[in-house]
Structure 1
């Protein structure tokens, strides 16, 4: 198992003890709004976001979940800050898929 994946898995085991469902973050809220997202999966994705993305990145990622055209704009942008965000966003997506995908 890769080291970042192991860290995510270990932290995810402890995180439910620290976080209540009443404190849904921006990713979880956006996930639930998108096509009536599954609550358990959305909570899992938020847990991964809490471990991999800063608050500002989480809010930005939530906007991308709500607006796919915006995601495309960030992806094709030539700004360095967008490229750096996109790399962090990809890592988050990969880890969320691995941990929450099944």
Structure 2
């Protein structure tokens, strides 16, 4: 495991259990998705990581990717600086969620 991912996992292990999620946009989109790993525990975990790493506007934008993965690719390959900045934050969130939530 890479050092940043390990640090994120350690931080998440200490902080996440104390954060109560109120069913944010990522969690709701995750639960509505047809992904095999989508269950209450996993989706809640991902939302908790989102609460720690993404502002609310980014969470709403990222939640749309569950229903429309092509939108994620459009953002990823966009030349707009705002999309590039968002993608960097989103990628960091994804790495932290994978490290902590295991999936």
Q: TM-score, normalised by structure 2?
A: 0.82
Structure 2 match to 1:25: 24
- Give the paired residue count: 100
Q: Which runs of 5+ in 2 are unaligned?
A: none
**Greater fraction helix:** 1
- Are 1:87 and 2:88 an aligned pair? yes
CA distance in 1, matches of 2:30, 2:39: 8
Deviations 1:30-74 (A, max 9, x none): 110111621100011011111110110111000112211111111
Pairs within 5 Å for 1:56-95: 56-95=57-96
| Aligned alpha-carbon RMSD (Å) | 2.1
The answer to which structure, 1 or 2, has the higher relative contact order (CA under 8 A, 6+ apart) is 2
CA distance in 2, matches of 1:18, 1:77: 34
Q: TM-score, normalised by structure 1?
A: 0.83
Q: Displaced runs of 4+ in structure 1, greater than 4 A?
A: none
CA contact (8 A) 2:42 2:101 kept: yes
CA distance in 2, matches of 1:49, 1:9: 16
